[in-house]
Chain A
Amino acid sequence: MTQKLPGSKDIPPAGVTWKSATEYKTGDWRSKRPVRDDEKCTRCLICWIFCPDAAISWDGKNIQFDMNYCKGCGICAEECPVKCIDMEDE
């Protein structure tokens, strides 16, 4: 852990969170990351549907993985019909 975290005197009791849930980044324990081949990709969006963490976004043109939340489960790669996603070691 590089950053200094607050101590017991600084955090609320009872495990109450002091930040909005959007400030929690939960992708840090991923061991594999999805890498997409943009040329092979047909934009079928099956990966977008299947991602259990809603970590894949689609803006009408591009597909992007949000690495702050991707856990590296590999469901996108498994489900991709043209096999354009590779799971690479972190």
Chain B
Amino acid sequence: MKPMPAKQILMGINGDEAVAYAAKHALVDVCAAYPITPQTIIVEKFAEFVANGEVETEFVRVESEHSALSACLGASAAGARTFTASAANGIELMHEVIFLTSSIRQPVVMAVADRSPSGPINIHGDQTVSLAQRDTGWIMIYCENSQEAYDSTLQAFRIGEHPDVQLPVMTMLDGFVLTHTLENVYLLKDADAHKFVGRRQPMMITIDGKQVPLKLDPKTPITIGPLQLFDYYMESKLQHSEAMEKARPVVTQINNEWAQLTGRKYGDGYLQPFKVTDADAVILTTGSSAGTARFVTRQLRAQGKKVGLLKLRTFRPFPDKKIAKLLADVPVVGIFERTHTTGSLGGPLFNEVRSALYDLDTRPTILGYYGGLGGRDVTPDHFRTIYKELLKIKDTGKSPRNPIKYITVRK
């Protein structure tokens, strides 16, 4: 018999608050964070939990994001479960420490309220900054709605702290569209959540034939994060890469466990295909845009148009083989990304997906769309336009000379 999901509490909260509740449920030992729009509510709400004595977390007030993640990194190295949150310019300011955290294998969880990078100054949502962290060696999960933000944040602790993995995880929620929008969110009861996350167990490592915890502990002194030059640096990178490979099954496993507990499942943890199997045209996108795209896909299907949506949830580790399998028989694919890159053939999402499809015997025609930048609304019309173009390419067999397009830009 299928186990019944745990009884949950329905609350009207926004995405930021959902993440704060997840951090509360995750029994976080240390939280260091600095407020920045649109992430502020996460830290604000969490500080409230601390002030009310609802959590036992040590809350460190720091003067910048660089210090926020540095404090988390140090606390994590001492064995604490740590959480932080930031956005846009804050992420860029802590960029150095983002690399450090993953390279010394500390499973810090960070919520990223996705906001466009300033220049021109802007505080609204797009995914340029988070996608720019793609080479930092973190596990990266994009959330479609506030419920998924709560769910993914709790899952993140389990994935990152898994003994085979030991890597930091960032969970992305789109600025304002998710962070500041009220939604109905199911929260676990404290006891159920606590049982799911458990307590952090440090990874065991072998030094001189002895097993010691990877943690700063006077009883078993070790040095974490020393200089590694040309003699050992590359070997550490290889280890990091292998840890990321080991995370692949863990993402799916935790997603399944979560489904058993809550009744909510996000595909295989990586991808959520919707009407992809027999589709003539598929849109691949990520984050809150996927919800809008699904709405349009359903409408067009009702009109008999064979369109499908592939929502990408986990960007690192990148599910290249899964994408290739799902899109192998699709004639035309459009990739919609709320990110912007110049001087290259398309953005990071376009590049990675296109590369994943390179080994197929018959490759789909692939188009890349930049849109929703700087918080410009991503509307159903975006996806109607894209599907129309993709279906036209399917019907005429003519692909455009330039596969990269902008949606709703004024020329």
Q: Give residues in A with beta carbon < 8 Å to B.
A: 1, 5-8, 11-18, 21
Contact = CB atoms under 8 A, between A and B. Distances in A.
Interface string B234-275: 011011001100000000000000000000000000000000
Interface of B: 103-106, 166, 203, 205-208, 214, 222-226, 228, 231-232, 235-236, 238-239, 242-243
B402 to A, nearest CB: 42
A21 B228 CA distance: 13
A16 B222 contact: yes
Given A12-B206, A14-B214, A15-B226, 10 more contacts: A7-B235, A13-B105, A14-B166, A14-B205, A14-B224, A15-B225, A16-B214, A16-B222, A17-B226, A21-B223
Contacts of B207: 12, 16, 18
Majority secondary structure, A binding face: loop
Contact of A14 (B104, B235, B238): B104
Contacts of B225: 14-15
A7 to B, nearest CB: 6
A14 B238 CA distance: 11
Nearest to A18: B207
B223 A13 contact: no
Given A13-B205, A16-B207, A21-B223, A8 B104 contact: no
Nearest to B230: A1
Contacts of A18: 207-208
Contact of A13 (B166, B208, B226, B231): B166
A15 B203 CA distance: 14
B223 A17 contact: yes
Given A1-B231, A16-B205, A16-B224, A8 B103 contact: no
A12 B228 contact: no
A16 B202 CA distance: 14
Contact of A8 (B105, B205, B214, B239): B239
